Structure 1
Amino acid sequence: MALDLTQAAGTFVQGISSTVKTVTGSDITLIAGFSQAQLQALAQQSALVAGMIEANAFTAAEKMFYLDGLDQMARGFVNTFVQIVEVEIEKIYNAVVKAIYDSIGNLAGVTLAVPRAAV
């Protein structure tokens, strides 16, 4: 019996979209919470530094020290965010590949070993 390719494609679309929603659902909330907390901390520290600079309360060396600290905070936030996103992409990739292999297995009546990217 030949597969109805339109129906088979629908099976793949359903499987892939369902698994991506499942994988990303709670993770997106977690990433957003992390980002919001980090941005809030960075904004508060920036406001404090701006206030001290405006009040002329820093020596030149102190000013550079605190500005360098803000730079490090920003770099740390961005680097951590990028790493979180990389892990999320690998999780989505694994979920999509599994959905595809599972759908092929169901449609073709076979069991396939699912490859995985390291998470």
Structure 2
Amino acid sequence: MALNLTDTADLFVNNIASAVRNVAGQDVTTVEGFSQTQLQSLAQQSALITGMIEANEFTDDERDFYLIGLKQMAMGFAQTLIGIVVVEVEKLFNAIITAIYQSINTIAGAALPLPV
């Protein structure tokens, strides 16, 4: 039996898109909540430091100490986001490969194992 390649390609598109939506939809809320919390903390810390500098409440060493801490806080936030993105890409890749192999198995009546 010859496959209609247009219909088959459409099936793959639908299955892959569904797999991506399932993975991304679950994690977007988590990442968004984490990001909002961290951004709020960075903003509040920045405002506090700005207020103290403006009021001339810090010595030069204290100001530098708090600014270094703020820089480290921002770097930690950025590095955590990078880690989350790396994990998300891996999860998306796995979902896409699974959808492709399941579609092949269903359409072709095969039993191909998922690649490792």
Give the TM-score normalised by structure 2.
Answer: 0.98
Matches of residues 11-26 of structure 1 in structure 2 within 5 Å? 11-26=11-26
> Is residue 52 from structure 1 mapped to residue 52 from structure 2 by the alignment?
yes
Provide Cα deviations, 1:5-50, integer angstroms capped at 9, x if missing partner. 0010011001001111111112000000000000000000000000
Q: For the aligned residues, what is the CA RMSD?
A: 0.7
Matches of residues 23-34 of structure 1 in structure 2 within 5 Å? 23-34=23-34
Matches of residues 74-89 of structure 1 in structure 2 within 5 Å? 74-89=74-89
- Deviation (angstroms), 1:115: 2.0
Paired with 1:18 and 1:36, the residues of 2 have a C-alpha distance of 27
Matches of residues 1-119 of structure 1 in structure 2 within 5 Å? 1-116=1-116
Give the TM-score normalised by structure 1.
Answer: 0.95
- Read off the aligned partner of 1:54 and give its amino acid letter: E
Runs of 4 or more, structure 1, over 3 Å off, are none
- Read off the aligned partner of 1:69 and give its amino acid letter: G
Give the paired residue count.
116
Which sections of structure 2, spanning at least 5 residues, go unmatched? Answer: none
- Read off the aligned partner of 1:53 and give its amino acid letter: I
Paired with 2:51 and 2:25, the residues of 1 have a C-alpha distance of 39
- Read off the aligned partner of 1:36 and give its amino acid letter: Q
- Deviation (angstroms), 1:76: 0.3
Provide Cα deviations, 1:60-118, integer angstroms capped at 9, x if missing partner. 100100000000000000000110011011000000000001111111110111125xx
Which sections of structure 1, spanning at least 5 residues, go unmatched? Answer: none
- Read off the aligned partner of 2:60 and give its amino acid letter: A
